[in-house]
């Protein structure tokens, strides 16, 4: 498992934003993700290119998710 810090994708509202996945919610709440887990970033700047990122990646577009 990978630990997710505040400021990383797994705690960002854009992580998996355009997918309906209960696993994304679980990652936010638990603060951990399975090794190698990736999901699509829904940030407006990245959505068009379908950027896929690890739960412990990050960028300046981070926006705290409500369930984080």
Stretch that binds ligand SF4, among 18-26, 27-35, 39-47 (CB under 6 A): 39-47
Instruction: Rule CB under 6 A: say whether 38 interacts with ligand SF4.
Output: no
Instruction: Rule CB under 6 A: say whether 41 interacts with ligand SF4.
Output: yes
Stretch that binds ligand SF4, among 20-28, 30-38, 54-62 (CB under 6 A): 54-62
What DSSP state is assigned to residue 59?
-
> Cα(first)–Cα(last) distance of the chain, in Å?
18
Report d(CA 39, CA 20) in Å as an integer: 11
Instruction: Rule CB under 6 A: say whether 57 interacts with ligand SF4.
Output: yes
């Amino acid at each position: 498992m990978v630990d997710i810090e505040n400021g990383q994708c797994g705690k960002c509202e854009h992580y998996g934003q355009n997918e309906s996945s209960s696993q994304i919610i679980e990652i936010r709440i638990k603060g951990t993700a399975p090794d190698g887990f990736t999901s699509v970033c829904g940030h407006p700047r990245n959505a068009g290119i379908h950027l896929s990122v690890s739960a412990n990646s990050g960028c300046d577009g981070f926006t705290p998710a409500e369930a984080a």
